[in-house]
Amino acid sequence: MRVINRILILVFCGISSVVAGQEGTLEGYVLDGLKNNLTLKQKEVNYQKSLMVLKQARSYFYPDISINFRFSAAEGGRLIEFPVGTMLNPVYQTLNTLLGQQMFPDIENMNFAFYRPTEQETKVSLVQPLIDPKIYYNSRIKKELSYAIKADAESYQRQLVADIKTAYFNYLKTLQLIQLLDETRDLLEENVRVSEKLFENSKVTIDNVYRSRAEISKLDRESAMAWKNMQVARAYFNFLLNRTFEASINADVSYDSIPGVLTLGNLTVQALENREELDMLRSYSRAAESNLSMNQMDRIPSLYAAVDYGFQGNQYKFNQRQDYIFASLVLHWDIFHGFQKKAKIGEARVEHEIRTAQLKETEQQIKLQAIAAYYDLLASVESIRATEEELFSTKNAFRVVDRKFKEGQSSLVEYMDSRTSMTRAEENLIISKFDYQIKYAELERTACLYAFEND
């Protein structure tokens, strides 16, 4: 298994010597993740959708122009009586009397159908809002909500960078732990060989040999667990980049070093100025404020202008005898709606207060996050220094015990304890170094230290 592990590690690491900045290293992976991550794509599409909603809200400022065609046919219905006989027959009778002869006969009253047998109307209608607070404030609300959705996408973008880096360092950590276990196995195999040689020379009992072999079995169990952790870390890293889970990952050995530690300085100030979560909450707060203003302005009447120009007649003829123009001003004023306005204003005011309090609370949380991330990083640096000193001591102690054991002057228990202490110190150093990188990635996210290309 040791040989297989080493071969696969070389494959997964890409010979484990990729220089920082080359394609496939961490920065390249971060850019791939920002381009291909599925969750980020969904948030970006959601932002594009919000822009369409905003565009729709702004469209209400423009006039509504429409063309309407109507042709109708009717039969029956109400009749309109035109009393032409009632009006003219007395006149005709007087004229006949004066003339002395029956020159003007009596006529009957006329009846007209209320509905024309056929009628057409073709018109162009224009409606233009002149005063309507709802249109204005609705546009402002949609604008702020669009900003909030954009800030949410940018916040996840920053979180994604930290997640990719954390996953990458966890993967490198598992690789180095597997490599350490393989090197430790060499020591244990040498220990078995020495134990068997000492047993042949009657310097130790057979239980020493069994104990040495048992240590190899125990190490194989740890190797299997480390191998499993490496597979899971690789799959999760590839998941963030939207790649196949089995895709190989190039290991950048330059991250084995410890960069300098930042001072606290203006980290909290920078976090408060640049954290996208605060931009999102500020947009929500402004949207709530606009919603409150919209409900308060609902007492103001709305005023619209409407103009119709068209043709109307029994047949489709477009001439001056059938054309018409109709213009009007329409004022609408809601006087009373069962105290609905008052309730809406109260609801909007409470919503604005909630958003304001949420913003202040988040500001305090971000300050706390920046401070905690900074001191976590400092503690990680101290942990590395302490672990390096521990490893230095345990290595020197092991060299002495190993020499004495090979000469038969030290017990197997003492040898095993010394070897275990050295191995654990090496493991702790690997974990501490990559935990430092992970904590730095978290500080980088918290204090907005990572600069995106579009910044």
Nearest to 380 by CA among 258, 297, 240: 258
CA distances from 33 to 23, 186, 255, 434, 442 (A): 13, 39, 19, 21, 17
CATH of 2-70+132-304+339-446, one of 1.10.287.3510, 1.10.3720.10, 3.40.50.720, 1.20.1600.10: 1.20.1600.10
Query: Which of residues 208 and 132 earns the better pLDDT score?
Result: 132
Averaged confidence pLDDT in the chain: 84
CB distance 164 to 233 below 8 Å: no
Q: What is the pLDDT of residues 127-165, one digit of tens each?
A: 999 989 999 999 999 999 999 999 999 999 999 999 999
Q: In terms of DSSP H, where are the helices of 123-205? A: 133-200
Query: Which of residues 284 and 410 earns the better pLDDT score?
Result: 284
Q: What is the pLDDT of residues 420-442, one digit of tens each?
A: 888 889 999 999 999 999 999 99
Nearest to 399 by CA among 368, 427, 421: 421
What pLDDT was estimated at residue 1? 41
pLDDT band at 296 (very low <50, low <70, confident <90, very high): confident
Q: Give the C-alpha separation, 221 to 218, whole Å.
A: 5
> In terms of DSSP bridges, do strands 110-113 and 323-332 run parallel, antiparallel, or are they unpaired?
unpaired
Q: Residue range 269-274: average pLDDT?
A: 89
pTM score of the predicted model: 0.78
DSSP string, 296-357: HGGGSPEEEEEEEEEEEESS---STTTEEEEEEEEEE----STTHHHHHHHHHHHHHHHHHH
Tell me the one-letter amino acid at 353. E
Q: What is the pLDDT of residues 71-119, one digit of tens each?
A: 888 777 777 777 887 888 888 788 888 777 778 788 888 877 777 778 8
Name the least confident of 150-154, 197-201, 373-377.
Answer: 197-201
How do the domains of the chain map onto residue ranges?
Answer: 2-70+132-304+339-446, 76-114
Element (H, E) at 118: strand 118-131
